[in-house]
Amino acid sequence: MTTLALFSKPNNPHAWGVLNEIVSWAQLKGLRVLVGPDKGGWDGKNWSSELIESARQEADIAIAIGGDGTLLGVARNLFGWGKPILGVNLGTLGFLTDVAAKDIERMLDAIQAGEYTVEDRILLEAGLDGEESRGLAFNDVVFTNGGFGRLAQFDVFVDEQPVFSLRADGLIITTPTGSTAYALSANGPILHPSLAAIALVPLNPHSLTARPISLPSSVKVEVVVRGTVESRVVCDGQPYGGPLTDGTRVHVSQGATTVKMLHLKDYNLFKTLQQKLNWSSPRER
């Protein structure tokens, strides 16, 4: 029997309603479901430890009910456990959440029939010199100026080779998954999810020539903080470490594990981009 772990968007009655609808449909179709206690298992800061642990140990598929932020949170809790994640979209754009709430029954039929594909997507790992803990990012590792309204300065190296010295509001190091998120707003490239690639995207650089750079994901990036402006590192919106001062070195490389994204058979990346970014669709060939 296929076991589904359900994670709903926190503090969102609509998401709880969709969760209950999925539970009802799943039970009718003979699927086992794992859900948290009251209100989707949210304890104020994270989903309940019971739900997370049962998802890690027992689930075949995790379903995130909400927007891309909800799916990122689910992925963060399941890093390294190899659980395919499917998103039900209740948000606006929803690049990562493929399935509309109105298509729940069709989604469950497809899962029951095995009519889906699973796609491996890379992670980024960030580490500070001298620190054992690591930050993991499914979307991006972002260096910011700490919100003080002053330009930060960074020296950037790739595989120990100098690339550029940057004065900017920040620097985004993005995965293909994150290339349609914050990096897109900073005029970064859209990377196909199947690519083993990352991109360095300057954030409001004080330069007319600073451009995004696409790189193979096998490279090791080192960012050295310069100057008197404190900077910070944020992994998928979660702070990593404390304030960074002059001379602090941060290493970013591809993580050792991947996130498994589940798509129904009719998923089409370019159709998603057309819909979400309002691209005009070409005439049929």
H or E segment and range at residue 240: strand 238-244
Cα–Cα distance for residue pair 128/18, rounded to 1 Å: 41
160 with 241, same domain? yes
pTM over 0.75: yes
- Structural domain including 194 reads 123-256
Through-space distance between the first and last CA atoms of the chain, rounded to whole angstroms: 42
For residue range 41-64, list pLDDT tens digits in order: 676 678 989 999 999 999 999 999
- How many other C-beta atoms are found inside a 10 Å radius of the C-beta of residue 11? 11
Tokens of 17: 């309603």
- What band does 246 get if pLDDT is binned at 50, 70 and 90? very high
Q: Are 98 and 119 in contact (CB under 8 A)?
A: no
Domains identified in the chain, total number: 2
- Percentage with pLDDT > 70 across the chain: 96
Confidence of residue 285 (pLDDT cuts 50, 70, 90): low
pLDDT digits over 199-244, tens only?
999 999 999 999 999 999 999 999 999 998 889 999 999 999 999 9
Looking at the fold, whether 95 and 165 belong to one and the same domain comes out as: no
Comparing 65-74, 175-184, 272-281, which segment has the lowest mean pLDDT?
272-281
Question: What would the pLDDT profile of 80-131 be if each residue is shown by its tens digit?
Answer: 999 999 999 996 778 999 999 899 889 999 999 999 999 999 999 999 988 8
Tell me the pairing of strands 85-89 and 61-66. parallel
Residue 282 lies in a domain: no
Q: Are residues 141 and 219 in the same domain?
A: yes
pLDDT at 119: 96
Do residues 78 and 85 lie in contact, with contact meaning Cβ atoms separated by under 8 Å? Answer: yes
On whether the CB atoms of residues 199 and 183 are closer than 8 A, the answer is yes
Contact 141/154 with Cβ under 8 angstroms? no
Query: Over the chain, what is the mean pLDDT?
Result: 92
Residues 34 and 142 in one domain: no
pLDDT digits (tens, 9 = 90+) for 121-179: 999 999 998 888 999 999 999 999 977 778 999 999 999 999 999 999 999 999 999 99
95 closest CA partner among 272, 279, 283: 272
pLDDT of residue 41: 66
- Which has the closest alpha carbon to 41: 67, 10, 14? 10
Q: What pLDDT shows up at residue 234?
A: 97
Rounded Cα gap, residues 275 and 277, in angstroms:
6
Give the single-character DSSP code of 45.
S
Catalytic residue numbers, as ranges: 68
pLDDT reported for residue 129: 87
210-221 residue pLDDT tens: 999 999 999 999
Give the torsion sign (CA, 258, 216, 140, 271).
negative
Q: At 199, phi and psi to the nearest 5?
A: -140, 140
Q: Are 194 and 270 in contact (CB under 8 A)?
A: no
Instruction: Report the CATH number that the domain containing residue 30 is assigned in CATH.
Output: 3.40.50.10330
Is 285 within a domain?
no
Q: Is 15 inside any structural domain?
A: yes
